[in-house]
Amino acid sequence: MKRTNTRWRKLQQELAVWQIGAIPGLMVIGLIVFLRLLGFLQPLEWWALDYFLRLRPSEAPDEQILIVGIDEKDIQAVGTYPIPDANLAALVEKLQSYQPRAIGIDNVRDRAVPPGHDQFTQVLQKYDNLFGIEKALPDADGNLVNPPAALPPERVGFVDLIPDQDGIIRRALVGAPTESDYKFSLPMLLTERYLNSEDPAIVMENGIADAEAFRFGSTELTRFHRNDGGYVNADDRGNQFLINYRSGQHPFHTVTLSDVMQGKVPPDWIRDRLVLIGIRAVSAGDTEQVRGVDYAKPIYGVEVHAHVASQMINAVLHHRPWLTVWSDPWEYLWIIGWGILGISLGRFLVVPWKVLLGLGLASVMLIGVSFTAITAGVWLAVVPAFLVLVFNGTGLTAALFYRHQQDLQARLSDRQLLIDTTYTEIHNHPVQTLARILQRVREGNLSPQSFYADLERLEQQLRSIEESVRQKVTLMDDQLTLHDGKKLDLHRPIHELLHEVYRNTLSRTQDYPGFATLVKIPNFEAIENRRLTVQQREAICRFMEEAICNAGKHAERMTRLEVSCKTADGKNWIRIADNGCGIDAAGSNQSRYGTKQAEQLAHQLGGEFRRVANSPKGTICELSYPVSRFWLDQLRQFFKSGYASQP
């Protein structure tokens, strides 16, 4: 039962701590999600998608598709543009001689381009595997581009592309309703023809999971929806999907019109392949912005259509990954999860450099998982996840946790300091008085009057300690209380404080009668004291007080006491030396509480504590610590507090 209560208290304490950083952390998550819903993160998410697609390992050229690109040299060789119908007809005849599965002419032919129009018309009517194009969607002026008149509607596909707001082509439109009927894109018609030639059982049908999607056999082509991935309220009319561009510098075999006509193209590149004829000349203006491939420069429209057809063909025949996204609930759980991880880093690591290291590892993991997902065909919300991770790991949330931890550390340090100070005061005053009473009782020279006086003094010392502790707890008083109740302002120069402690301690002749006959040799020089905190000043004063009391208590037959503070060799030195019996006789070489306190103080000051034999006899108790410039010490303290260990 007791263990259960302890666990419950710990759980309650942990929940209270989490409220400090979790609330602003959840607000950060909510803000990022809100900005994403408004579309402010859309450009960044598009950029991340493009970048990941370009980073993928290069794929081998798709042997199923050949691009015949009419370039600047072809245009110069023909001598005119557009390319005359006769030249196009001859090109088609040459290609057909190698028996391709399908040929798509990605070149506007809504009017005759003499010479050779009749010849071109005959070619269009002769081959049922030949497809032409049209513009099915009106432009800004409401204009359309008609297909070649000689082609039947079932062999006409539109080549309309849908750029995003930044002008980049990331989506393919493969089907769209019009006022008269439903139309298909050129890549869709070519893909249907190619797959049906591969297997007559593979025909285009409506989807099963999504009735409005297209399906070839058992492969359903996942449609794009308006809020998929990083998109917000995008136009998803018609049948669209995200383009999973083939990676690599050379995704397809590409030849020129002259290469085909001169017989320079290997027959295997054409036979049983899908052939796309299009313009690859900058002067023609048929270029599109695509950043999802290795080359971050405009590519030609015919190449975009080749990527779209290749994506569908390889998804059906070779199970190449389709580019998909998670549903909205899973995406936002993903984002929230990374945000909570950022909060957890700030809570459990706390120390700045550990938080930064953990944040770096978490960021690498996030990017690695997102990139791996892209290679598998899944576009994850990496940008909002990264933002909530970083903001919660390094921003207000982590700062609050760190501040809470520092406050907790400070409270623990203050409590330990109060315990240590109280113990030292008890040890230096009441315990010494009590030891003196016991010694006199053992010696048999304690009269009732002196015993009563000693008890009164003991009571006064205890009450003084009680008052001192109460002040430190309630007011955090920056004063040092001596054995007779006198108070010293700890902001005074340290050598003045030490001199006051020296005088006050040696006045305790009732506790240490030998102090009255000592030869006293004081030497208190001004030393640098700006680096010392109030707590350190008090500890140094207590160190001197205890060292003098120990000399009076343990150093029998002591007749000489030297006490000094000075600066030498870049250090501050505080030294108490007597000529008593020495360490062995006094037994002061044993590990005592005072010794531990002195060693801890020396460690805090970056110095050294020594208790060694004096020559020819006696004991030397010495504390030294380096002198440092104030600004350098403050810088050291700053980094020390920033990298403090978790309690």
Contact 160, 144 (CB under 8 A): no
Give the domain ranges of the chain. 2-38+326-398, 61-160+186-204+247-325, 402-642
Q: Which amino acid is at 493?
A: P
Half-sphere exposure of 76 (CA within 13 A, CB side): 5
Entry pTM: 0.65
Q: Give the model's pLDDT for residue 590.
A: 41
Q: Give the model's pLDDT for residue 450.
A: 72
Listed in sequence order, the residues at least 6 apart from 514 whose beta carbon sits closer than 8 Å to its beta carbon are 552, 558
Q: Give the model's pLDDT for residue 515.
A: 83
Q: Please report how the helices 382-394 and 352-375 are oriented relative to each other, as an axis angle in degrees rounded to 10.
A: 170
Q: Give the model's pLDDT for residue 8.
A: 64
Question: Strand pairing of 608-613 and 619-626?
Answer: antiparallel
Alpha helices in 349-483 (DSSP H): 352-375, 382-394, 396-428, 430-443, 448-474
Mean pLDDT of residues grouped by 10 in the chain (647 residues)? 60 54 79 94 95 93 96 91 94 97 94 93 95 85 84 94 91 90 95 96 93 94 95 94 93 96 96 96 66 63 95 96 95 94 73 75 95 96 94 63 52 63 68 71 72 70 65 61 80 89 85 80 84 82 87 78 90 90 50 75 88 88 78 48 42
Question: Strand pairing of 299-300 and 287-288?
Answer: antiparallel
Q: Give the model's pLDDT for residue 465.
A: 67
Q: Give the model's pLDDT for residue 50.
A: 92
Q: Could you please state the CATH topology (level 3) that the domain comprising 402-642 is classified under.
A: Heat Shock Protein 90 (3.30.565)
* Phi-psi map region of 570: left, alpha, beta (phi>0 left; psi -120 to 50 alpha): left
